[in-house]
Amino acid sequence: MNDDVPFHAGAFESMPDGPVLLGSRCRACAQVYHPRTSTCLNCGGADLEDIHLSRRGRLECCTTVYMPTATMEAPYTVGYVQLPEGLRVFAPIQGATAALKVGASVTLARCTVGRGEKRLAAYCFVPA
Ligand SMILES: [Zn+2]
């Protein structure tokens, strides 16, 4: 099991108080990106600073998938979360997902993705 190995290098950091998403903010136009990038697609600038994104957001939509894939056991729920920085993050949604409604407050948490022994460290959102 490789649940300390991130599913996507540079997407997040594991901190003592939980995971944090890594992003970039353009110093010229303030556009925010996740994952990090070196060029702003909004203004073409290359002066971006590394930032940690908010751990709390609002659920924009989600769906539960009942068909397993080569890398995911079913059922699992995924969705889009709107962060205060103005960007939308796609992520697994875990916890009491049946009670979740659009606009619900969610918070970032650590999880794993994969099947069986082939699991990698990841992040998800859970009801706040
Ligand atoms: Zn920019």
Among residues 8, 10, 6, 7, which one has the least CA distance to residue 23?
10
User: What is the C-alpha to C-alpha distance for residues 76 and 88, in angstroms, rounded to an integer?
Assistant: 19
Average pLDDT taken over every residue of the chain? 91
Contact 11, 35 (CB under 8 A): yes
The count of domains in the chain is 1
Residues 51/32, Cβ–Cβ less than 8 Å? yes
So what's the pLDDT on residue 100?
86
> What is the pTM (predicted TM-score) of this model?
0.89
What is the Å distance from ligand 1's center to 39 Cα? 8
Ligand 1 center from residue 47 Cα (angstroms):
8
Rounded to the nearest angstrom, the distance between the alpha carbon of 6 and the centre of ligand 1 is 28
- Ligand 1 center from residue 88 Cα (angstroms): 17
Overall average pLDDT of the 72-95 stretch: 94
Name the pLDDT band for 70 (thresholds 50, 70, 90).
confident
Instruction: Please give the pLDDT value at position 102.
Output: 93
Least confident of 2-11, 69-78, 86-95: 2-11
Give me the mean pLDDT over the 8-24 stretch: 90
**Cα-to-centroid distance, 87 and ligand 1 (Å):** 14
Confidence at residue 3, expressed as pLDDT on a 0 to 100 scale: 67
Residue type for position 57: G
The pLDDT of residue 7 is 77
Domain extent, residue 21, equals 2-127
